Amino acid sequence: MRFIKLILMVIIINGCSNDSVSVNFSIEGASNAVIVRIDGEHTVPWDTVKIINNELKLDLPLDSTLMTFYYFIFDSGASLRIGVEPGDKLIGSVNASGSLTDYELTGSELSEQLLALYQPVLESSRIIDSLDEYRKLSNEPDSNYIQIETRHYKFLENRYYSHKKEILKVMAMDSSNLSNVFGFFQKVAAAPLFSSKEEDHIFFREFGDVIIEKHPNHPLAKIFILERKRILGQ
């Protein structure tokens, strides 16, 4: 009887430990954060938390999928997306002082993949901002306007293809990671990285098959399935 009670206690403890994931972030540039859960194509408000002494410590609950994604919106205008699953323990640092969030983290395969997918976004955003700033401060005569805009377009075009290559490289390193779904919906200067162009079909098939096979019932995978069908004309 004593042995059975011990077994039951272990089961209860293990069950409870899988209900939430600890998050420990050091935060600069923000005093509070609105946290919402990403539930497929919908977001569900979870809580608004204060950042005390530049620290954000909390336990985030897992939903029934056991692969739960959250979106942090800081009062500075910065934002951050993470994904958690049983056994994760997130530790990281976040610079939320500007609209472009700069951060590092460890302790979660989903979140680390999201970070890797975010790095090309950060680089592209910085390049676009620098081009916009140059345009504002430029003393070039109006006669050079077309030349300047052509040069800027070429910079953006080059960055677009570099960004896309970087995203594909990240996804290939962990092709079944559910976080890859977010990579397919990225844009550069409002231009989608992946579209219905014939050249993109191979990526939707290659990565889509792996994601669908491993996560057939997850809401994010279902959204991706619908998008893939639309792209491939199925």
Q: pLDDT tens, 194-210?
A: 998 899 999 999 998 99
**Residues of the chain above pLDDT 90, percent:** 69
Residue 152: its pLDDT value, please?
83
CB contact set of 81 (below 8 Å; sequence gap of 6+): 38, 69, 70, 71, 72, 114, 118, 182
pLDDT tier for residue 83 given thresholds of 50, 70 and 90: very high
Asked if residue 10 is part of any domain, the answer here is no
Residue 48: its pLDDT value, please?
97
Listed residues 74, 107, 140: the one ending a domain:
107
pLDDT tier for residue 214 given thresholds of 50, 70 and 90: very high
Q: How far apart are CA 221 and CA 90, in angstroms?
A: 23
- 133, two tokens: 């700033």
Residue 230 has pLDDT above 50, yes or no: yes
Mean pLDDT over the full length of the chain: 88
Do residues 210 and 176 lie in contact, with contact meaning Cβ atoms separated by under 8 Å?
yes
- Higher pLDDT among residues 98 and 59, named by residue: 59
Q: pLDDT tens, 101-132?
A: 999 999 999 999 999 999 999 999 999 888 87
Q: pLDDT tens, 128-170?
A: 888 877 666 666 666 576 777 788 889 899 999 999 999 999 9
Residue 139: its pLDDT value, please?
63
Claim to verify: residue 50 and residue 145 sit in the same structural domain: no
Asked if residue 113 is part of any domain, the answer here is no
Claim to verify: residue 127 and residue 227 sit in the same structural domain: yes
Q: What is the total count of domains within the chain?
A: 2
Residue 2 has pLDDT above 60, yes or no: no
Residue 140: its pLDDT value, please?
63
Domain enclosing residue 79, as ranges: 19-107
Asked if residue 29 is part of any domain, the answer here is yes
pTM listed for this prediction? 0.87
Claim to verify: residue 132 and residue 86 sit in the same structural domain: no
Claim to verify: residue 55 and residue 80 sit in the same structural domain: yes
Residue 153: its pLDDT value, please?
86
Q: What is the CA radius of gyration of the chain?
A: 21
Give the domain CATH number at 85. Answer: 2.60.40
Q: Where are the alpha helices (DSSP H) in 174-197?
A: 180-183
User: Which residues are bridge partners to 39 per DSSP?
Assistant: 42
